[in-house]
Amino acid sequence: MTRVTPAMLERKSLRTFDLAREGPFLEHPQDVLSAALDLYETGLDVALVVLVKTVGGAVRAPGALMAVSAEGDVVGYLSGGCIDADVIANAQLSLQSGKLTELKYGAGSPYFDLPLPCGGSIDLMILPQPDMEILRYAHGRLASRQTVSIGFHRNGAVSINDDEDDTDFTAHYVPKLKLRIAGRGADCIALLRAAKASGFEVHFQSPKEIEVSIARRLQIDQVDHLKSASSLPCSEDDPYTAFALMFHDVEWESVLLKQALAGQAFYVGAVGSVKTHERRCEELGKIGCSADEIERISAPIGLVPSLRDASLLATSVLAEIIASFQVLQARLAS
């Protein structure tokens, strides 16, 4: 178990959630914790609900979070809507009593009037007024693109955990999928919009002022106006970053791909035809990329071949990236 010290909590605020705009259906633990901390800092009592076990089909995976305030504010979700209202009511009762509550829904549950349509069961733990400094630290880890493990205890405590044996349930969280998009034109803007709508962290790079302006209006997390192919910004790709090259431009594509292949991105994809990619591979070899590095490139990019509409291509690209991210998460969990 890791002890959280004051120095570990010293960081700038990274919470920017407007619940009226975002709505209650937040998914990533970073977002749920962000909103929970915002509620707490307005003076509200907050309960944290964690999904600790699933049997059979389930909408959410173990570790999914929901936060409920004493005033009825809700962020996060744990089902497709079939049990969440009851969970919220129980969370508010738990805040009133100050006692941890454990719930089971579905097969084997005493709540016969709340069956799960999927036929399985889920177990939940409701922690009233958990240690917000622990949750603040966990949020800070995720917001700074680091993993974190939170231990949940039946005495109502939460902890930052290195050892699962010390807890009743430990959830391991990874940073949000980050998508770095480099390109210009309709294809890259469509992918930019789709990635933003999907809740990913997005980093956009383009040499074109109009695309850069659009990205800034969309409030993309990070925007680089590329000035020279010989002087790229330093790569910030981490193991949870996917890189998508959306260029049809020889001047830019080779240097951007070489940079991405030398970094930590779990996925590197490039738009273009089979013939274009063959030419691109030859060029990458000439500038020092190894055969193994070149083999990593997914091209032509996307699950569905030969799409001619930017919006459809964007959906196809996101699907391929998400599939790769699922493989990464499964590997990390094993």
Whether 270 contacts 293, CB under 8 Å: no
Looking at residue 102, its pLDDT comes to 96
pLDDT tens figures, 306-322: 899 999 999 999 999 99
Average pLDDT over residues 116-139: 91
pLDDT at 119 over 80: no
Instruction: Indicate the pLDDT class of residue 7, thresholds 50, 70 and 90.
Output: very low
Instruction: Indicate the pLDDT class of residue 17, thresholds 50, 70 and 90.
Output: very low
Q: Which CATH architecture does the domain made up of 178-333 adopt?
A: 3-Layer(aba) Sandwich (3.40)
Looking at residue 134, its pLDDT comes to 96
Whether 42 contacts 71, CB under 8 Å: no
Instruction: Indicate the pLDDT class of residue 14, thresholds 50, 70 and 90.
Output: very low
In the chain, where the domains are located: 6-173, 178-333
pLDDT tens figures, 262-271: 999 999 999 9
Q: Is the overall model pTM greater than 0.75, yes or no?
A: yes
pLDDT tens figures, 196-235: 999 999 999 999 999 999 999 999 999 999 999 999 999 9
Looking at residue 172, its pLDDT comes to 94
